[in-house]
A and B are shown apart, each in its own frame.
Chain A
């Protein structure tokens, strides 16, 4: 079986969890004898191609699908106006971004049309434009490799237009993969309607929709109005191969409770702070760490100062690569209080480092993790209770650490990929 996969990023150059998930998934698919042609906007050449063949969209000229490209431009024209993907820019910045974009597009489109386009592959201000171009290039690639795949698999809304185009041109079945929804990225009143529109288009055109959890599956059904029979939950796994056990010398003698992730509204950082204040009232041998950056960071810092706990509550800023592992290794308890989390890979990483985890019931991974403590994100009392228990009673923390370790090590991409292969088979048979 062969699959044409549209992704946005691939290790080592990743900004979010999407690249990591794609990497693990393709390796699992290879193990299950599925050949993967992986298309990404901007490959750097140092990607691990042991399990996939990577096609760099920046190397492909758009000239073979002239008719469809015109049609495409017509369809996606709307996304060129006001391509503001930068959250919380103030009105004056917004105006300049929009105006610069418009000028650039008028100039750029004429030059770029029919030529190679250098994708940035980042999540920047001109993301929407890249998404549209990626669709054009994707269509070209689909035609070029027409005889080399049986099914199309598109990851997240960024690649859906490309997936749709490939399906229309080749007639092959399309599977789209919802790693997150617009409703996880922002609160209801701030949802980007253009993204919602792309997501809906993709899911409507798809033969099957894969969601990373039941939680996300429900959002697809209830918020986007997708046919329940069409949506299946496919939980993520984690690839821990090649990770060495990191030996770190602890720097503080107190226990460390960690929040690690983007400091944004959806991740619930303020509930973590409130819980920390409650725990600190009861016991003194603990420090809290908020690792990560985001638009809520400054507000959180003020919040901590106002509660008067800043000598026990530390901020590390954005951590990368090894620092993340180091942070886990230094932690005694990991907390993920997300308000809405499609899946949430970090508790699995924490548990793999023998760190007991507390996760919100509103996160997708809560559906498959038995040995993580689960609380409602808004229930600060329950959260502080769980933190206190894990800190004070060795029996429960040891159990959570030991069984959690075994549990996450049994969640394998190979098994997930087998499930995905079954779905591929289903849509191919139907086609």
Chain B
């Protein structure tokens, strides 16, 4: 049996928030910096998504199905493609039609819902599944959580949703002496198979490729293959997981990253020791060598490989808790705009901007951060969230009035009903929605 190489690329762009001041609370409920979001998306589409998709299509066709990759595309970025660069969706669709590309499942909003609420987590996974089916006509079978966040408990939730394969980080503090280059199974749900990222080999491409200070610069395909061989001498599978923006955006085209990727498949295939597989194929082909115990959540971020990049200080925790406190109230509401904002405010990036770990991974954090300091990020986010909470509370009181009015209308004393309904002029607005109470869940998708 040939050894495997599994390539998976993450595609995501957050909805960056505009400068939202205290004075805007209660007055203006548009939260997003549309200009920045469009500009960045268009730029990355030109530099990365479009050329790289074209290259992958070419490679898949040239290698007649022997070259395979997997994508996870967040709902947030799909919305932006739809709005600002529909041609990108078209190019992904072409890749989907080759049959050599697997689309993974994740939370629609690239959120941290798995750490907050099983219900919200499930909602978002279902919403994302619907979106992938809608755009690409395929149903995702393997799961990858936001930033590869994983724990035993999350694994169990994922398995309960019907997934048999999940991707996560080969975190050293979890693996100990074990190698990431095997298939593992979830400790709490043994039928869920786990693919672990090989950090060192993934980062050689994602972070070090263009670094001229790196002793191994320049990286050639031959050299890279020899490293893969060395790493997997007695092992079975090498998982190379990275952001898709690596190609052309983080590593500029001038660094030769496209040429590297153009040459890699053929060299691997000709060599014959390895073959390319998608995550679902890998899970079928290999057998798990053992359980992986992960009590506390791990991720692919920072030296710590834990979730402290998003929930590591009091700012992040407070913002996260305040946001999740709204879920209960929202469950009573059938308001598409509110649910959409709730989702976008859950994007993990907002919490990443509030990270204060400036010393070890500051450089990476800075690159991805539109704010000068985590404090500014926090203030801005909380101002937006405060406005959002106001809207939720208003909507709740309106629906309460409707409920009372409906009840009172049935009651024999008509005067009381008129009195209760009259003072709230806005109650009328919400009435049509109240007529279809069962529509709540479908509207959210």
CB distance from B55 to the nearest CB of A (A): 45
- Given the interface pairs A298-B373, A305-B378, A311-B389, the reply to whether A253 lies near B26 with Cβ below 8 Å is yes
Q: In the complex, what residues of A have CB within 8 A of residue B383's CB?
A: 314
A16 at the interface (CB under 8 A from B): no
Closest B residue, CB atoms, query A330: B23
B390 and A315 within 8 A (CB)? no
Q: In the complex, what residues of B have CB within 8 A of residue A314's CB?
A: 22, 25, 379, 382-383, 386
B433 at the interface (CB under 8 A from A): no
A289 at the interface (CB under 8 A from B): yes
A311 and B26 within 8 A (CB)? no
B319 at the interface (CB under 8 A from A): yes
The contact of B378 among A251, A301, A330, by CB within 8 Å, is A301
CB distance from A53 to the nearest CB of B (A): 40
B26 and A251 within 8 A (CB)? yes
B160 at the interface (CB under 8 A from A): no
Complex CA gap A301/B381 in Å reads 13
Q: In the complex, what residues of B have CB within 8 A of residue A306's CB?
A: 314, 318
A311 and B22 within 8 A (CB)? no
Query: Interface residues of B: mostly helix, strand, loop or mixed?
Result: helix
CB distance from B330 to the nearest CB of A (A): 15
A251 and B379 within 8 A (CB)? no
Interface of chain A residues 303 through 353 with chain B (CB within 8 A): 304-306, 308, 310-312, 314-317, 326, 330
Q: In the complex, what residues of A have CB within 8 A of residue B22's CB?
A: 289, 314-316
The contact of B319 among A249, A297, A310, A330, by CB within 8 Å, is A310
Complex CA gap A316/B378 in Å reads 12
A370 at the interface (CB under 8 A from B): no
Closest B residue, CB atoms, query A313: B382
Q: A301-B315, A305-B314 are in contact. List 17 more A-B contacts (CB 8 A).
A: A250-B26, A251-B27, A252-B26, A298-B373, A298-B375, A301-B375, A305-B315, A305-B378, A310-B378, A311-B322, A311-B385, A312-B386, A314-B22, A314-B379, A314-B383, A316-B23, A330-B23
Instruction: Output the residue of A250, A298, A310, A315 with the most chain B CB within 10 A.
Output: A310
Closest B residue, CB atoms, query A251: B26
Shortest beta-carbon contacts, A-B, top 9: A305-B318, A251-B26, A305-B314, A306-B314, A314-B22, A305-B315, A315-B379, A252-B26, A251-B27
Complex CA gap A298/B379 in Å reads 10
Complex CA gap A287/B386 in Å reads 10
A95 at the interface (CB under 8 A from B): no
B25 and A251 within 8 A (CB)? yes
Complex CA gap A137/B386 in Å reads 54
B233 at the interface (CB under 8 A from A): no
Q: In the complex, what residues of A have CB within 8 A of residue B379's CB?
A: 301, 314-315, 317
- Can you give 25 contacting A-B residue pairs, CB < 8 Å? A250-B26, A251-B26, A252-B390, A253-B26, A289-B22, A305-B313, A305-B315, A305-B318, A305-B319, A308-B321, A310-B315, A310-B318, A310-B378, A310-B382, A311-B382, A311-B389, A312-B386, A314-B25, A314-B379, A314-B382, A315-B22, A315-B379, A317-B376, A317-B379, A326-B23
B24 at the interface (CB under 8 A from A): yes
The contact of B315 among A251, A297, A302, by CB within 8 Å, is A302
CB distance from B219 to the nearest CB of A (A): 35
Residue numbers of A with Cβ under 8 A of B are: 249-253, 287, 289, 297-298, 301-302, 304-306, 308, 310-312, 314-317, 326, 330
Complex CA gap A316/B317 in Å reads 21
B25 and A302 within 8 A (CB)? no
The contact of B314 among A249, A287, A302, by CB within 8 Å, is A302
Q: In the complex, what residues of A have CB within 8 A of residue B322's CB?
A: 308, 310-311
Q: In the complex, what residues of A have CB within 8 A of residue B314's CB?
A: 302, 305-306
A251 and B375 within 8 A (CB)? no
Instruction: Say which size band chain B's interface belongs to.
Output: 20 to 34
B285 at the interface (CB under 8 A from A): no
1/0 per residue, CB under 8 A from A, across B358-388: the answer is: 0000000000000001011011001101100
B419 at the interface (CB under 8 A from A): no
B284 at the interface (CB under 8 A from A): no
Closest A residue, CB atoms, query B23: A251
Q: In the complex, what residues of A have CB within 8 A of residue B389's CB?
A: 311
Q: In the complex, what residues of A have CB within 8 A of residue B376's CB?
A: 317
Q: In the complex, what residues of A have CB within 8 A of residue B23's CB?
A: 251, 316, 326, 330
The contact of A252 among B25, B373, B375, by CB within 8 Å, is B25
B24 and A251 within 8 A (CB)? yes
Complex CA gap A330/B24 in Å reads 12
Q: In the complex, what residues of B have CB within 8 A of residue A287's CB?
A: 386
CB distance from B101 to the nearest CB of A (A): 43
Q: In the complex, what residues of B have CB within 8 A of residue A289's CB?
A: 22
Closest B residue, CB atoms, query A308: B318
Closest A residue, CB atoms, query B24: A251
Q: In the complex, what residues of B have CB within 8 A of residue A312's CB?
A: 386
CB distance from B299 to the nearest CB of A (A): 22
Complex CA gap A287/B385 in Å reads 14
CB distance from A322 to the nearest CB of B (A): 11
B287 at the interface (CB under 8 A from A): no
B21 at the interface (CB under 8 A from A): yes
Complex CA gap A179/B307 in Å reads 50
Complex CA gap A253/B27 in Å reads 11
Complex CA gap A311/B389 in Å reads 9
CB distance from B320 to the nearest CB of A (A): 10
1/0 per residue, CB under 8 A from A, across B378-406: the answer is: 11001101100110000000000000000
CB distance from B311 to the nearest CB of A (A): 12
Closest A residue, CB atoms, query B321: A308
Complex CA gap A250/B24 in Å reads 10
Complex CA gap A317/B20 in Å reads 12
Complex CA gap A257/B85 in Å reads 45
Complex CA gap A244/B1 in Å reads 84
CB distance from B388 to the nearest CB of A (A): 10
Q: In the complex, what residues of A have CB within 8 A of residue B390's CB?
A: 252
Complex CA gap A298/B372 in Å reads 13
Closest A residue, CB atoms, query B326: A311
Closest B residue, CB atoms, query A250: B26
Q: In the complex, what residues of A have CB within 8 A of residue B21's CB?
A: 316
Q: In the complex, what residues of B have CB within 8 A of residue A304's CB?
A: 318
Complex CA gap A330/B21 in Å reads 14
Q: In the complex, what residues of B have CB within 8 A of residue A298's CB?
A: 373, 375
Q: In the complex, what residues of A have CB within 8 A of residue B26's CB?
A: 250-253
Q: In the complex, what residues of A have CB within 8 A of residue B382's CB?
A: 310-311, 314
Complex CA gap A308/B323 in Å reads 12
CB distance from A272 to the nearest CB of B (A): 16
Q: In the complex, what residues of B have CB within 8 A of residue A330's CB?
A: 23
CB distance from A92 to the nearest CB of B (A): 15
Complex CA gap A113/B259 in Å reads 63
Instruction: Output the residue of A308, A315, A316, A330 with the most chain B CB within 10 A.
Output: A315
The contact of A305 among B317, B373, B385, by CB within 8 Å, is B317
CB distance from B331 to the nearest CB of A (A): 19
Complex CA gap A315/B313 in Å reads 18
Q: In the complex, what residues of A have CB within 8 A of residue B321's CB?
A: 308
Closest B residue, CB atoms, query A314: B22
Complex CA gap A55/B319 in Å reads 53
1/0 per residue, CB under 8 A from A, across B301-325: the answer is: 0000000000001110111011000
Q: In the complex, what residues of B have CB within 8 A of residue A326's CB?
A: 23
CB distance from A293 to the nearest CB of B (A): 11
CB distance from A264 to the nearest CB of B (A): 16
Complex CA gap A308/B316 in Å reads 11
CB distance from B373 to the nearest CB of A (A): 7
CB distance from B318 to the nearest CB of A (A): 4
Complex CA gap A312/B25 in Å reads 11
Complex CA gap A315/B377 in Å reads 11
